[in-house]
Amino acid sequence: MQRLIEAGDVTVNGDAPVKAGTRLRAGDRVTVTIRPPVPVALIPEAMPLAVLFEDPHLVVLDKPAGLVVHPAPGHATGTLVHGLLAHVDDLAGIGGELRPGIVHRLDKDTSGVMVVAKDEPTQQTLSAAFKAKTEVVREYVAIAAPAPPGPRGTIRTLYDRHPVDRKRFSSKVNRGKPAVTHWEVVERLRLGAALVRCRLETGRTHQIRVHLADSGWPLVGDPVYGRRYAGELAELARALGRQALHAARLELVHPVTGARLAFATDPPADFAALLTALREPPSDGP
């Protein structure tokens, strides 16, 4: 039932989906929509993977934008998990039937560094480290417009699903889990935009996208939390076709060897093209 509520498939008196703790009154009509079940049999699918590091215990990848991490409604095949099942022997069953080996995830249209466990002890140790916010560093780069007003800062809020649109999240809530994002302006760009580096202290779903948008600095191209731009910035956002967000750096302690591992990747071509366009003066034409 909680999953149905979180997916937006429960309403009260026809209104927006509710939280599990919402109190009902006599006469309330509760409507529950049961969607077709998602197949649990995962079939390996060979796909190219950008492997940054691999040993018997874990694999670190550079995930491209557009790739869903694990099966979900509307994405029963073609996910990163399907590709990992073809790449890693005996991965099935680690960390859950539909999310084998997954320690943390990136949104479909967010690119960058991810770590995946190849055995159960590694999955449990890494998951605990991510949850405890210890020995793990996660840094992202983003392009926001308008730009933050200062050079750096920290956003500390409560965090939960949006009270009206249950498929979105919000930091403007009275109850929820704590969420902390540290940000720094790396470079100020044309059209009021900025290249921003963000470091996660917590890892809530959509956290950077929501924190920056709720602060008035949405990510360029974000289809959910962004804003409508005009003129050249609107054209650049359409050309990108996704939120301008890249998981640029990941540091962690190897669960078995104890070695400190650090991985970094540059943003992909579409992000780099947007950054170049916002650095260069507009063309005056022929």
Domain boundary among 75, 103, 132: 132
Q: Do 139 and 269 belong together in one domain?
A: yes
* Domain, as residue range, for 155: 134-286
Output the pLDDT for position 285: 55
Q: How many residues does the chain have?
A: 286
Q: Do 263 and 185 belong together in one domain?
A: yes
Q: Do 247 and 144 belong together in one domain?
A: yes
Q: Do 97 and 145 belong together in one domain?
A: no
d(Cα 16, Cα 3) in Å, to the nearest integer?
Answer: 15
Q: Do 277 and 139 belong together in one domain?
A: yes
Domain boundary among 98, 132, 166: 132
User: What is the number of domains present in the chain?
Assistant: 3
The two tokens of residue 69 are 């991490």
Alpha helices in the chain (DSSP H): 2-6, 80-87, 120-132, 207-214, 231-240, 269-279
Output the pLDDT for position 15: 82
Q: Do 164 and 65 belong together in one domain?
A: no
Q: Do 267 and 142 belong together in one domain?
A: yes
Q: Do 166 and 261 belong together in one domain?
A: yes
Q: Do 157 and 240 belong together in one domain?
A: yes
Output the pLDDT for position 94: 67
Q: Do 26 and 118 belong together in one domain?
A: no
CA count, 13 A, side-chain hemisphere, 120 = 5
Which residues, in sequence order, are CB contacts of 258 under 8 Å at separation 6+? none
Q: Do 156 and 215 belong together in one domain?
A: yes
Distances (CA, A) of 183 to 143, 171, 208: 12, 16, 9
* Ranges under pLDDT 70 in the chain: 17-18, 37-41, 92-98, 282-286
Output the pLDDT for position 155: 98
> The domain spanning residue 246 has which CATH number?
3.30.2350.10
Domain boundary among 97, 132, 167: 132
Q: What is the pTM of this model?
A: 0.83
d(Cα 269, Cα 46) in Å, to the nearest integer?
Answer: 24
Per-residue pLDDT tens over the stretch 127-156: 999 988 778 999 999 999 999 999 999 999
Output the pLDDT for position 131: 87
Burial (0-12, 13-18, 19+ Cβ within 10 Å), 224 = middle
Output the pLDDT for position 70: 85
**Which residues belong to the active site?**
107
The two tokens of residue 62 are 């550079």
d(Cα 119, Cα 117) in Å, to the nearest integer?
Answer: 6
Q: Do 182 and 75 belong together in one domain?
A: no
